[in-house]
């Protein structure tokens, strides 16, 4: 079957660094997406990885290991506005997105 696992909730301090992990199992694989979703709003695109390694984009970085079925999203210099849910989604062989339940990130001052 197809499955995405990520922690339900994480807490971090403003200015710190946090890593949100995601493991996936899909029928075929066409890449791994990370989306941010603030409460009551639609998801917005953060990153896409299809090759192994780290992709850096400002304060956010995303890592992929295809052999391990593993990805993480790294958020640096945390700001209060980063409080949101972070959704991991893997694209299967039919180019359909399989979504995790999301990780709720709570930032404390």
Partner 1 sequence: ETGVTQSPTHLIKTRGQQVTLRCSSQSGHNTVSWYQQALGQGPQFIFQYYREEENGRGNFPPRFSGLQFPNYSSELNVNALELDDSALYLCASSLEFQGVHEQYFGPGTRLTVT
Smallest gap from Cβ 15 to partner 1, in A, equals 28
Residue 21 interacts with partner 1 (CB under 8 A): yes or no: no
Per the CB < 8 A criterion, the answer to whether 61 and 74 are in contact is yes
Structure tokens at 54: 């780290």
Residue 96 interacts with partner 1 (CB under 8 A): yes or no: yes
Residue 78 interacts with partner 1 (CB under 8 A): yes or no: no
Residue 94 interacts with partner 1 (CB under 8 A): yes or no: yes
d(C-alpha 56, C-alpha 89), whole Å: 18
Residue 102 interacts with partner 1 (CB under 8 A): yes or no: yes
d(C-alpha 26, C-alpha 18), whole Å: 26
Of 33 and 63, which CB lies nearer to partner 1 in the complex structure? 33
Residue 84 interacts with partner 1 (CB under 8 A): yes or no: no
Query: Which of 12, 64, 84, 89 touches partner 1 (CB under 8 A)?
Result: 89
Taking alpha carbons only, the member of 54, 62, 64, 58 closest to residue 78 is 58
Residue 14 interacts with partner 1 (CB under 8 A): yes or no: no
Which three-class secondary structure state does DSSP give residue 45? strand
């Amino acid at each position: 079957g197809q499955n995405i696992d990520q922690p339900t909730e994480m807490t971090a301090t403003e200015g710190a660094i946090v890593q949100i992990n995601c493991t996936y199992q899909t029928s075929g694989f066409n890449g791994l997406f990370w989306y941010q979703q603030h409460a009551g709003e639609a998801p917005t695109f953060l990153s896409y990885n299809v090759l192994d390694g780290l992709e850096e984009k400002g304060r956010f970085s995303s890592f992929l290991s295809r052999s391990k079925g593993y990805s993480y999203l790294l958020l640096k210099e945390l700001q209060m506005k980063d409080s949101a849910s972070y959704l991991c989604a893997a694209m299967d062989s039919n180019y359909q997105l399989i979504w995790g339940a999301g990780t709720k990130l709570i930032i404390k001052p």
